[in-house]
Amino acid sequence: MTDEQGTSGAILVVGGGISGLTAALEAAEVGNDVFLVEKNAYFGGRVAQLNQYFPKLCPPSCGLEINFKRIKDNRRIRTYTMTSVTAVSGGPGNYEVTLETTPRYVNSNCTACGECADACPDEMDNEFNFGMNKSKAAYLPHEMAFPRRYVINKDALSDAGAEAVKASCKYGAVDLDMATESKTINVSSIIWATGWTPYDPTKMDNLKFNESDAIVTNMMIERMAAPGGPTDGKILRPGDNKEPESFGFVQCAGSRDENHLEFCSYICCMATFKQMTYIRERYPEAKIYVFYIDLRTPGKYEKFREKLMKDENSTFIKGKVAEIIPESDGSVTVVAENAVTGEKIKQNVDMAVLATGMQPSLAANGTPVTLDTDPSGFVNSNPETGILSAGCACRAADVVTSNQSATAAALKAIQVSRRS
Amino acid sequence: MDKKICTYICTGCGIGEALDIEELSGVVTGEMSQECKTHACLCGTEGRAFLENEKSAEGVNTFTICACSPRVMQSEFDMGDDTITVRANLREQVIWTAGTAEEGQEDTHKEYLQETGSDYVRMACTRASKTEMPEAYEMESMNKDILVMGGGIAGMTAAIEASKAGSKVTIIEKADVLGGKANGWLKQFPMAYPFAELEENSIASMIAEAEADSNITIKTATEVARIGGAPGAFLVTLKAAGTKSEWDAPAKVGVDEQDLIEKGEMEDPNDGLQAYGVANEAADNFGAVVLATGWIPADVSEYEHLGYGSNDKVVTNAEFEVMAKTGKLDGLNRVAFVMSPGGEEHDEDFPYANSVTSMVALKQAKYIRESNPDSQAFILYQHMRTPGNMELFYKGVQQDDGIFMTKASVTGVEGGTVHAKDTLLGEDLDLTVDLVVLAAGMVPTTKDNDTINLAYRQGPAFLDLDLFDGYADSHFICFPYETRRTGIYACGGVRKAMNMQETMDDATGAALKAIQAIESADHGVSVHPRSGDKTYPEFFMQRCTQCKRCTEECPFGALDDDEKGTPLPNPSRCRRCGTCMGACPERIIGFKDYNVDLIGSMIKAIEVPEEDDDKLRILIFACENDAYPALDMAGMRKHKLNHMIRFIPVRCLGSVNMAWIRDALSAGLDGAMLLGCKYGDDYQCHFVKGSEIANKRMENIGDTLSTLGLEPERVRSESVAITDYDTVAGLVNDFVDEIVELGPNPFKGF
């Protein structure tokens, strides 16, 4: 029994990041019905956390704004947040999919006025900012969040907090009795666009992520540099809020390593050059050391690299980092061997940035249903079965390439709809 | 449609407390002479039921919603296809940016706030009465077939994938056979896990698939002479490859050049060619075009120290592939592959390499090893570029103990010796080999030729190719298929040096965009970024003075013209930015819901108080894609905006007609500002050129104001990004301070 009847040939897109949005919109703008489900409370996925894109240094929210506008203008797309796929049955052209929506505890009466967050006494780690600050237990995930509707984390809400948020809402939007809902839909194909997760830095013992506040990930730098981030755009050392005078970038933190991710994560070199521009904007004199195996900035990214390699206060060392040693003054020492000179380097820096790799989210979090994946956890796309993949669920890639692959996946899905 | 308009003021989210709602209603029913109702929460369940009832029981079809920002609650206030909704942003732009009153200033604070609210209500009521129901443009004829230019991997993939979705496709290929560059490959890169081994070349099966497909027509030894028309109705003249035709696409001749030609002072570059606007009766019809004309091997003879062209032991990777394919690797025991030409000067790869040449070197090293078990290959690289899963192939090649790889700065090739420094061996290298292979790049066919051969007013080639080193690439990271030529989508090597997997993805995506462009043209709606927009620019041609500004400035080349210079619109090429409307000095271009009169009337609806230094009025046109959301966010974050500012959202700064600024200043407003996207090489304008063009126009209006005796400082153009929400308030407030410094507009009261 299907609760939500799409017209025949509907497409399910799992994941509402840039690839999922692209696949859903491109298919819908051809005229197909699309279900777009996202497990977070907002669309935009990983790119929503980025301050800027390389090499243009433009804000991802600019393109997301256009995509959200496209969604609002298109009645063929039905969107579901806080929703996951829990079961898939049937076959190509006619899959029955069970979706499960966890409670937001805020219903459609929400006007996004923000009174509940103001009134809420309870705080929790802000997950969007990798725990670098707190958010209220009644919260908007971030400024640009779409849909613009508040969320309540009931686990973080005290009894007094529950009373306070209920009392604060004049519109009856707070509903703490909301329960998990399940529904089934029928679709002809499924595009997995579940994206990537930063590789868990604690898995690399030698990099000591847990042992010093001075060791951060490149995704944390993105949030710090973002104007709406935990530090309002300042890049400060967590813990003591020191303005770092020196930075060490540790490339391939987890990537190109058979003990961790055997593939190359494609974007980390460009991301580091981009983050060098963030640092330069804030600290013109800071010393920057980049430890790399190869600088993979091919094609149009080469100009971007050339510009930044001219930076007089930056040093590039070909050599994989062997170890990071936390120092008592809050700094860290990065240890590596220069592969060209053979020299052993011990470089003390105020902050070490791990260019952590891109792990397919389905590998990091587990697949909800049986899927044909490769050993790294990337989903093999199969036009015959109509089980497709797009973006970084499919392979490590930058945003441009992800969107090309998402547009391609949309056509593959349409083909399934049209032949059934 | 007979409009029944009603205004609805929402008193929720603090609007009712901050503003005197009765007075606001009075503005609507009094000076605006429209009906007005209020509700405690329009977007809630009850509010929406109330609005539904207004539609069904009261017959209201034009809803003026005075509540929150138009960026939110869009579906809640969408009352159906047969209705119009206009929004007044009382929440984000009025009460949330009001700040708090200073002590003792409570009354003036409230008064100012009320004035601001009233002006937004006036503007919304005016907009509601001036907005007309859009009707989608109907094409005179419609063709849904797709033309694919180029029969290599990219072109054939695009054709096969479009065919699988039911489209009819014609592939044209300049060579006598399909297959393109891939015909010359011995083997191809691995496409599936574990990405360890080279694969057999699969081009023959792809050709067979294309040839067997009844939806696909193949024309080899054929080229495009010219493409005229528009999405849904492209008119394509084909010709035998390598021949000249009177239908070859003419070069662009600008207004000045045309003058010189007519005076006989310049040779007509289009002598013997049909004018661009002439339709060839014998041409073929297509709905959309995929450009997949690929690449040619780069010339590397400029790198004299590497000896290409003078040293017969030095070949390019493309030449080496031919040797391998034709079985001419015998006798080669030691082969060096040089990835980077810069010696000690720089560590870049050869131009146009992307990461493909790294992969090719690895592949060709394997050829050598497979042809002769005793052979050795040496790969000298600065940066081994095997992104993503290609790393696994790299790792596989590293296991071969006959392949040596090192980072190296290759300083020269003399005879059979390669000299290199800065290696990983701890010493300089003088490597004696039988052959040196240079990792030459892949130059797109668009670099030195028009290739797409458009018979457009703005010329035959893609624009902005220089920005991308000649690649027919997109400047948009989020929207990689968007270029300035609607309905034409580039893929494969013409857009970027790509490996086979990437090419096939790219081509499949391009096929989708082609199908989508056709569907959109068929439904008379816009494609990206205003996808689905039914409005299109309409021209009141009787008053056209043939100034050609619209045809020149349209970022998408949507306008052709006749011999006199009267514009000939092609609505299916149009992206609905309104740059033509902004360009037109005669104000004869407009959309049903967005035109010079409509915005002009909104400006005139702003109440301009008599001379009072505390009640100046500053008009700000804000780009609705980036600046307006940034302002909304500033509101969410409760940044205070000066109470004298009035915002009007615009589709793109390019659509801002300078008449609006003159109107504003002559109506007594004291200053005007344009807030839009960054322009220049890293432009962020979604319509490519809109903000840049607007900025140019503003430079000129400064001069106009001077002649009127007004300070040019009263108008300004600024760039903001969507993330400037914490700085945008300061930016506009500073502008207001400068206007206050200048004092009131001397025209006030005239």
Confidence category of residue A5, pLDDT binned at 50, 70, 90: very low
Question: Once rounded to an integer, what is the mean pLDDT over residues A86-90?
Answer: 96
Cβ burial, residue B672 (10 Å; 0-12/13-18/19+): buried
- Write the pLDDT tens digit of every residue in B166-225: 999 999 999 999 999 999 999 999 999 999 999 999 999 999 999 999 999 999 999 999
Q: Which residue of B has its CA nearest to A57?
A: B682
CB pairs under 8 A between A and B: 242
pLDDT at A50 over 80: yes
Question: Once rounded to an integer, what is the mean pLDDT over residues A325-340?
Answer: 97
- Write the pLDDT tens digit of every residue in B267-283: 999 999 999 999 999 99
Is the CB of A411 inside 8 Å of chain B's CB atoms?
yes
| pLDDT for position B255 | 80
List of chain B residues whose C-beta atoms are within 8 Å of the C-beta of residue A170: 12, 41
Minimum-distance CB partner of B509 among A30, A299, A404 = A404
pLDDT at A7 over 60: no
- Write the pLDDT tens digit of every residue in B395-426: 999 999 999 999 999 999 999 999 999 899 88
List of chain A residues whose C-beta atoms are within 8 Å of the C-beta of residue B388: 263-266, 395-397
Q: What percent of chain B has pLDDT above 70?
A: 100
Q: What is the CATH number of domain B1-133?
A: 3.40.50
| pLDDT for position B702 | 83
Taking the C-alpha atoms of residue B509 and residue B484, their distance in angstroms, rounded to an integer, is 17
Taking the C-alpha atoms of residue B637 and residue B628, their distance in angstroms, rounded to an integer, is 14
| pLDDT for position B602 | 98
Across the interface, do B391 and A63 touch by the CB < 8 Å criterion?
no
| pLDDT for position A8 | 67
Q: Where are the domains of chain B?
A: 1-133, 146-190+199-296+445-523, 299-440, 593-750
| pLDDT for position A127 | 96
Q: Is residue A165 helix, strand or coil?
A: helix
Q: What is the third-level CATH fold of B593-750?
A: Rossmann fold (3.40.50)
Across the interface, do B480 and A59 touch by the CB < 8 Å criterion?
no
Give the residues across from B449 on adjacent strands. none
Within 10 angstroms of residue A163's Cβ, the number of other Cβ atoms is 14
B155, containing H or E segment: helix B153-164
Question: Once rounded to an integer, what is the mean pLDDT over residues B106-123?
Answer: 97
Q: What is the third-level CATH fold of B299-440?
A: FAD/NAD(P)-binding domain (3.50.50)
What mean pLDDT value characterizes chain B? Answer: 96
A284 CB contacts (<8 Å, ≥6 apart)? Answer: none
Taking the C-alpha atoms of residue B224 and residue B236, their distance in angstroms, rounded to an integer, is 7
Is the CB of B680 inside 8 Å of chain A's CB atoms?
no
CA distance A57 to chain B (A): 8
For chain B, positions 421-440, list CB contacts with chain A under 8 A: 422-424, 426
Minimum-distance CB partner of B165 among A228, A300, A418 = A418
pLDDT at A2 over 60: no
| pLDDT for position B171 | 98
For chain B, positions 140-199, list CB contacts with chain A under 8 A: 161-162, 164-166, 192-194
Minimum-distance CB partner of B41 among A114, A171, A262 = A171
Selected for mutation to probe chain B from A232, A264, A295 (highest B CB count within 10 Å) is A264
Question: Once rounded to an integer, what is the mean pLDDT over residues B590-612?
Answer: 95
Is the CB of B74 inside 8 Å of chain A's CB atoms?
yes
CATH class in words for B146-190+199-296+445-523: alpha beta
Across the interface, do B496 and A111 touch by the CB < 8 Å criterion?
no
pLDDT at A420 over 80: no
Across the interface, do B512 and A59 touch by the CB < 8 Å criterion?
no
CA distance B591 to chain A (A): 18
Using only C-alpha atoms, chain A has a radius of gyration, in whole angstroms, of 23
- Write the pLDDT tens digit of every residue in B17-29: 999 999 999 999 9
Q: Which residue of A has its CA nearest to B470?
A: A300
Question: Once rounded to an integer, what is the mean pLDDT over residues B702-730?
Answer: 92
**Interface predicted TM-score (ipTM) over 0.95:** yes
Across the interface, do A299 and B44 touch by the CB < 8 Å criterion?
no
Question: Once rounded to an integer, what is the mean pLDDT over residues B296-314?
Answer: 96
CA-to-CA separations, A317 to A248, A283, A291, B405, in angstroms, rounded: 10, 21, 5, 19
**DSSP character for A181?**
E
| pLDDT for position A4 | 47
The answer to whether domain B1-133 and domain B146-190+199-296+445-523 are alike in fold is no
Across the interface, do B508 and A411 touch by the CB < 8 Å criterion?
yes
Angle between the B500-523 and A399-419 helix axes, to the nearest 10 degrees?
A: 60
List of chain A residues whose C-beta atoms are within 8 Å of the C-beta of residue B348: 302, 306
Is the CB of A30 inside 8 Å of chain B's CB atoms?
yes
pLDDT at B750 over 70: no
Give all domains of chain A, ordered by start, each with its CATH number. 11-102+180-197+359-419 (3.50.50.60), 115-168 (no CATH), 200-356 (3.50.50.60)
- Write the pLDDT tens digit of every residue in A195-253: 999 999 999 999 999 999 999 999 999 999 999 999 999 999 999 999 999 999 999 99
C-beta separation of A217 from A353 below 8 A: yes
CA-to-CA separations, B635 to A224, A307, A352, B729, in angstroms, rounded: 22, 37, 36, 9
List of chain B residues whose C-beta atoms are within 8 Å of the C-beta of residue A111: 12-13, 41, 43-44, 68, 73
CA B12 to chain centroid: 39
CA B153 to chain centroid: 25
Is the CB of B473 inside 8 Å of chain A's CB atoms?
yes
